[in-house]
Copies of this chain bind each other. A is one copy, B any other.
Amino acid sequence: MKKENPIFTPPELVADWQALKRTFIMPENDSGKAKLVKYMEQILFGLHDFLKAHVGITEEISLKDLSKNFMDTRISKNPQKKLADVITDLIVDIAPHAVNVASPYFIGHMTSAIPFFMVHLKTIAAALNQNVVKVETSKVVSVLEKQVLAKIHRLIYNKSEDFYNEHVQDTQTMLGGFTEDGTIANLTALWVARNVLLAPKDEFLGIEKEGIHAAYKAYGIERCVILLSKLGHYSLKKACGILGIGNQNVITIDMGNLKNIIKEIKLDKKTAIMAVVGIAGTTETGTVDPLYKIGEICHENNIHFHVDAAWGGPTLLSEKYRHLLKGIELSDSVTIDGHKQFYMPMTCGMVYFNSPHVLDNIVYHSNYVNRPGSVDLGMKSLAGSREANSLILDSALKIMGSGGYALLIDHGIETAIKFAEEIKKRKNFELITAPQLNILTYRVFPHSLKLEPPSKELNQKLNDINRTVQRLQREAGKSFVSRTTLNDIVVLRVVIMNPMTNINILNEILDEQEEIYERNKDCDCDPQ
């Protein structure tokens, strides 16, 4: 890696008004145009070819060493680089030290290769540079966004033709919204749930206006809680911290006991249940909660039922596997991420609501935009300025069809099942959680240790082995699985979403893990 010297300015680079203005105008002559297209070619193929030739997952260099090249905190007065050099530097210096998430050997996180056309679609959104907070900076894109939201709402809730005809372009109602990511989608859903629970009544103007302290007084309570599935994402705790509920009031439960737990909490008149959150594809194991059952219980008890389907939502596009999410249609709100199994570029979250009116509980107006009665989508949204992610999702749905997405979903689930079988067959491994969707966890469990009786010490030993194997494999740079901890067991976690990841590659990854274990079993490695 070249050492940067940011204060050096090539003599020809001086901030100049005429040159600067030209960067705001598209060149009209052929050579100017050709240059800009050439840069795009570099970005599309130079990047790809370089990564392919030189890098597996990432080049082996520690973060600490890397960071030594990123110490200078001055902004140069004069330009330091031309676009061409910036692009070259990104390809040669940055990309090899980034993470090649597109590799079929990168199976550790919910980030993967994306179809190449997604890059084109993102480029279009950037070139149009619409701001969807208001119609005056987006016009048709606001209308298109409403349509896309209705399409996904229909996928989830499947209401009548009349319902969608009425609401798809109704400026008074909203079926959902785009957010930066799943965390903000979850936060939005719980924000709505909080405001519905503690709505205006009598003299009380509602929690949004008066705050929690006044709200609890008006409702005669001292605490709100959320009941969350055991492997729920940490963003739900964060959301409750932000919303002023207190994150210790997120109670993680076994959903099998939901009915009894609700009954018990209801005995305490000072505590209100703000929401029950079920997960459709937990981050760590891909588990799906019994959504139908939860939905029924929430209906009976009149409790907001939120489904975090950030991961699993697109499973609804697969005719073969959509039954795994049965009951999602009983929910009051749903989170789905576009940058996960819709294969969109970073980032795109979405939140959907069963009722088209419920977002009224978080409406905000102002004088210069979002005036009452306008079509401005920013009125009922946590964020203000937003990019036109709906353009990307809409185009992707047209290019892929639900059938195309279904092929990806089916491949992920079926490859995960095959992989689980392979793990069970191998003598040096143990499957920890079988895949319900396309995520599974397992660990290296050397044959020789399987004869030992289970003990805390043995588990500790296995934990160290798995930490070491995961780290050394990551550092070797060819493959990447992630690790997490389930009930004190350190596990290797695999997410299968890349269509190029097949059972042969997965076997190679297991082989490498076995080799790493064998090579290091007698060394006193630092497991971190």
Contact = CB atoms under 8 A, between A and B. Distances in A.
Interface string A166-186: 001100000000011111100
Contact of A347 (B72, B216, B386): B386
Taking residues whose C-beta sits less than 8 angstroms from the other chain, chain A's interface range is: 35 or more
Interface centre among A180, A212, A474 (most CB of B within 10 A): A180
A200 to B, nearest CB: 12
A472 interface: no
Contact of A213 (B41, B169, B223): B223
- Find the residue from A21, A127, A216, A482 having the highest chain B CB count within 10 A: A127
A137 B43 contact: no
A183 B384 contact: yes
B347 A15 contact: no
A43 to B, nearest CB: 5
A169 to B, nearest CB: 4
A406 B134 CA distance: 29
A86 B368 contact: no
A455 interface: no
Given A123-B123, A382-B184, A391-B94, A99 B130 contact: yes
Given A169-B67, A401-B76, A244 B207 contact: yes
A191 interface: yes
A482 B136 contact: yes
A356 interface: no
B164 A408 contact: no
Interface in A1-45: 6, 9, 13-15, 17, 20-21, 23-26, 33, 36-37, 39-41, 43-45
A407 B139 contact: no
Give the number of copies in the complex: 2
A68 B165 CA distance: 10
A399 interface: yes
A493 interface: yes
Contacts of A113: 24
B47 A41 contact: no
A135 interface: yes
A143 B222 contact: no
Interface in A104-132: 108-109, 111, 113-131
A402 B116 contact: no
Interface stretch (A148-156, A296-304, A443-451, A514-522): A148-156
B73 A168 contact: yes
Nearest to A122: B126
Nearest to A208: B241
A135 to B, nearest CB: 6
A252 interface: no
Contacts of A75: 151, 154-155, 317, 397, 401-402
Contact of A385 (B43, B74, B346): B346
B182 A79 contact: no
A247 interface: yes
A256 interface: no
B131 A346 contact: yes
Contacts of A109: 131, 134, 136-137
A498 B23 CA distance: 11
B247 A184 contact: no
A91 to B, nearest CB: 9
A103 to B, nearest CB: 11
B120 A40 contact: yes
B247 A137 contact: no
A186 to B, nearest CB: 9
22 contacts: A9-B401, A20-B115, A24-B115, A24-B498, A37-B37, A37-B44, A44-B127, A58-B139, A67-B143, A70-B168, A76-B397, A76-B402, A87-B124, A101-B137, A131-B347, A180-B184, A181-B385, A182-B384, A183-B384, A205-B248, A284-B368, A345-B387
